[in-house]
Amino acid sequence: MKCRKCKEKAIIKLYEHNLPLCKEHFLEFVEGRVQKAITDFGMVRKKERVLVVISGGKDSLTLAFLLRKLGYKISLLHIDLGIDGYSEISRKFCEEFAHLYQLPLQVISIKKEWGKGIKELARETYKSPCSLCGLVKRYYFNKFAYENGFSCVATGHNLDDMVSALMANLLGWRISYIAKQTPVLPEEGKLKKRIKPLVYLTEREIAAYAFLQRIPFSRQDCPYAYTASFLKIKHLLNQLEVSSPGTKYSFYLGFLKNKQLFGEGKVTLRECALCGFPTVTEICSFCKTFRKEEVRNYAGES
């Protein structure tokens, strides 16, 4: 198999594009897809400061590597969830990556903030670990970005993630969530803009790029990942992709062309009465979950 670009030996075939590529042209392809996504959706300009949220896994660390290589001004944020046997390894990879590429890294420890890890907090708040994890991450990466003057928050969501989430929301007809499955969620008040520069890349392409660039990343799975229902949908979509390469890409592009059918997904935001950050209700979900005594006191005074 020969590279379509230069006729040298190909190291990978991108079945969705029917495109065999050598190492040089595959790396070029991946970098071009990220820059194309940034340009197509007006994500960020090179003079702006970007906060990249990293978990220690291949997607977020590859995103940070690519944005740095493409010339964007980035800083890193890792949220240590306090999961025994998992968070220590994830944090270690984040710290090693930041040191290796000389990038500023801030770590927020949930145990330091609240005295307990996600598992214990989930039990106390009657939430699933995945649900609580998402709430915590969204709150802290937005809060940190706002308080430190970043233009936007970048996350490592790839094409597989976006299509799986879109399909899960379609199956449940959660219209307001469907409308938000876009590569950019705009800034609104204290809610910082969120961008997904890996939206044109599959998980397989990102893994191959990370391997070829020797990006060190954690290969462990979160012990609570099995509770995420969208993983079953991702597995089914992967099976469909094997038999019909390009299905995910064409499905997601079709959504982007027709997303107006689902409305704008906009809601009226206000500032939380306790923490001051955006919410659709008087008190945000984060404060209702973690500041119950303050919520009770506020309700008594109101």
Residues 6+ positions from 32 with CB-CB distance below 8 Å:
none
Residue 11 located in a structural domain:
no
My answer on whether 248 and 292 are in the same domain is no
Q: What is the pLDDT of residue 302?
A: 63
Residue 174 located in a structural domain:
yes
Residues 6+ positions from 221 with CB-CB distance below 8 Å:
none
Residue carrying structure tokens 């991702």: 234
Residue 27 located in a structural domain:
no
Pairing outcome for strands 152-154 and 49-53: parallel
My answer on whether 140 and 73 are in the same domain is yes
Residues 6+ positions from 115 with CB-CB distance below 8 Å:
none
Residue 297 located in a structural domain:
yes
- Taking CA atoms, 275 is separated from 118, 187, 288, in Å, by 21, 18, 11
pLDDT tens per residue, range 41-56: 999 999 999 999 999 9
Q: What is the pLDDT of residue 228?
A: 67
My answer on whether 237 and 302 are in the same domain is no
Q: What is the mean pLDDT of the chain?
A: 94
Q: Residue 254 corresponds to which amino acid? A: G
Q: What is the pLDDT of residue 171?
A: 92
Count: domains in the chain: 2
Determine which of 115-124, 176-185, 188-197, 220-229 has the lowest per-residue pLDDT on average. 220-229
My answer on whether 43 and 94 are in the same domain is yes
pLDDT tens per residue, range 160-181: 999 999 999 999 999 988 988 9
My answer on whether 235 and 273 are in the same domain is no
My answer on whether 84 and 196 are in the same domain is yes
Residue 170 located in a structural domain:
yes
My answer on whether 53 and 117 are in the same domain is yes
Where does the pLDDT of residue 227 fall: very low under 50, low under 70, confident under 90, or very high at 90 and above?
A: low
Q: What is the pLDDT of residue 11?
A: 97
Closest CA to 82 of 130, 123, 114: 114
My answer on whether 139 and 241 are in the same domain is yes
Does residue 110 register a pLDDT over 80? yes
Does residue 266 register a pLDDT over 80? no
Residue 2 located in a structural domain:
no
Three-state DSSP state, 256: helix
Does residue 252 register a pLDDT over 90? yes
Q: Which domain holds residue 124?
A: 37-266
How much is the pTM? 0.94
My answer on whether 253 and 273 are in the same domain is no
Contact 229, 187 (CB under 8 A): no
What is the CATH classification number for the domain harbouring 64? 3.40.50.620
My answer on whether 209 and 275 are in the same domain is no
Residue 77 located in a structural domain:
yes
Phi and psi at residue 17, in whole multiples of 5°? Answer: -110, 0
Does residue 154 register a pLDDT over 70? yes
My answer on whether 172 and 212 are in the same domain is yes
Residue 18 located in a structural domain:
no
**208-214, long-range: CB within 8 Å, 24+ apart, which pairs?**
208/12, 208/26, 209/26, 209/27, 209/30, 209/62, 209/66, 210/58, 210/61, 210/62, 210/65, 212/11, 212/23, 212/26, 212/27, 213/27, 213/62, 213/65
pLDDT above 90 covers a percentage of the chain that reads 87
My answer on whether 176 and 290 are in the same domain is no
